[in-house]
């Protein structure tokens, strides 16, 4: 699919510059994730007119607006439901969901597992910054144990969700994880996820420097992403939810890939063709 003669990636070709300055805080990982996504889209030669970005609510949800495509900023936790309808009605569109850890795993958890189960050809990019940044830094399903948030004043005591294990268990055809610092690897992961015919769940380890980082003395953005680099590695074998790994030692890269039937194809074969016979 890669067009060798194509011009080099220039982010300005893919963003709505007239909306700048953007809303993201200095040091936020979401912007880098957006860059990696657009880079992947460029390399896959996807027509912007056929690109649909569907996002939920929260900091991750606002990212979509800066992308020069058909962008849909939907409701909290439910972008996958909109994306499901959109993709089924318009199989010609490349549908990419941008969501966050709270959006996708808490309020949208039910939609996530069923989207994985159906395996419809949608790419779901979950930007995990371990907190509800937009509402002031509350605890989320991925907040690391013992960390402070505005709703865990004594430190977080809840176990975390491992989104990738969840997605794989629920049936997603393609599952992967990457940190923002490894932007080329992240871009490559997204590229593979989009190209996979089926539901792709991609967890991006982002960082919320301004709210979460500050509250937990995690340092400025460079320190945060460098510590991510030591915790999240492609040569590792741990999972986020494995409490035995201290410090965390979590695997990145492509975590799961299967050729389960894609939903729309299965629908066509089982339903439409049979009815029309």
Beta strands in 168-271 (DSSP E): 174-179, 200-205, 232-233, 250-251, 253-257
Q: Which positions from 71 through 130 interact with another protein, judged by CB under 8 A?
A: 71-75, 78, 80-90, 92-93, 110-111, 113-114
Torsion of CA 176, 203, 78, 155, to 10 degrees: 140
Pick 54 or 205: Cβ nearer another protein: 54
Q: If DSSP codes are grouped into helix, strand and coil, which group holds residue 123?
A: strand
Q: Which of 3, 230, 258, 272 binds another protein (CB under 8 A)?
A: 272
Q: How far is the CB of 109 from another protein (least distance, A)?
A: 10
Q: How far is the CB of 50 from another protein (least distance, A)?
A: 6
CB 94 within 8 A of CB 49: no
Pick 64 or 137: Cβ nearer another protein: 64
Positive or negative CA dihedral for 96, 100, 105, 111? negative
Question: Residue 70 has which token pair?
Answer: 């058909």
Q: How far is the CB of 106 from another protein (least distance, A)?
A: 14
How many CB atoms sit inside 10 A of residue 265's CB? 15
CB 190 within 8 A of CB 125: yes
Pick 48 or 260: Cβ nearer another protein: 48
Q: How far is the CB of 266 from another protein (least distance, A)?
A: 12
Pick 25 or 239: Cβ nearer another protein: 25
The site map against another protein for 4-33 (x = CB under 8 A) is ---------------x--------------
CB 35 within 8 A of CB 15: no
Q: Is 27 left (phi over 0), alpha (psi -120 to 50) or beta?
A: left
Please list the residues that pair with 34 across neighbouring strands: none
Residue 52 is a binding residue for another protein (CB under 8 A): yes
CB 56 within 8 A of CB 78: yes
CA–CA–CA angle 130, 75, 104 (5° rounding): 30
Residue 37 is a binding residue for another protein (CB under 8 A): no
Pick 120 or 255: Cβ nearer another protein: 120
CA distance 180 to 235: 17
Pick 73 or 256: Cβ nearer another protein: 73
CA distance 165 to 201: 10
CA distance 117 to 169: 9
Site stretch for another protein (CB under 8 A), options 32-40, 42-50, 142-150, 201-209: 42-50
Q: Which positions from 230 through 269 interact with another protein, judged by CB under 8 A?
A: 267
Site stretch for another protein (CB under 8 A), options 50-58, 211-219, 223-231, 253-261: 50-58
Residue 184 is a binding residue for another protein (CB under 8 A): no
Site stretch for another protein (CB under 8 A), options 47-55, 165-173, 194-202, 205-213: 47-55
Residues at the interface with another protein (CB under 8 A): 19, 48-50, 52, 54, 64-65, 68-75, 78, 80-90, 92-93, 110-111, 113-114, 267, 271-272, 274-276
């Amino acid at each position: 699919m890669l067009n060798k003669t194509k011009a080099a990636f220039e982010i300005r070709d893919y963003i709505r510059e007239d909306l700048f300055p953007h809303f993201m805080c200095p040091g936020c990982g979401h912007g880098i994730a957006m860059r990696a996504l657009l880079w992947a889209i460029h390399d896959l030669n996807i027509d912007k007119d056929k690109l649909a970005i569907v996002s939920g609510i929260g900091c991750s949800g606002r990212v979509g607006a800066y992308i020069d495509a058909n962008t849909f900023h939907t409701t909290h936790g439910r972008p996958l439901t909109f994306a499901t309808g959109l993709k089924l009605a318009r199989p010609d569109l490349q549908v990419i969901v941008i969501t966050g850890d709270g959006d996708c795993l808490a309020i949208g958890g039910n939609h996530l597992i069923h989207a994985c189960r159906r395996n419809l050809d949608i790419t779901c990019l979950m930007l995990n910054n371990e907190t509800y940044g937009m509402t002031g830094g509350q605890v989320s399903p991925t907040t690391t144990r013992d960390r402070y948030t505005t709703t865990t004043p004594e430190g977080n005591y809840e176990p975390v969700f491992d989104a990738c294990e969840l997605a794989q268990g629920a049936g997603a055809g393609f599952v992967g994880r990457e940190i923002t610092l490894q932007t080329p690897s992240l871009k490559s992961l997204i590229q593979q996820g989009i190209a996979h015919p089926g539901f792709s769940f991609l967890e991006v380890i982002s960082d919320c420097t301004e709210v979460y980082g500050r509250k937990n003395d995690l340092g400025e953005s460079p320190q945060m992403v460098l510590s991510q680099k030591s915790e999240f590695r492609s040569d590792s074998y741990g999972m986020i939810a494995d409490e035995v790994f201290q410090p965390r030692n979590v695997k990145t890269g492509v975590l799961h890939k299967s050729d389960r039937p894609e939903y729309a194809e299965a629908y066509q074969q089982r339903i439409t063709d049979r009815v029309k016979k």
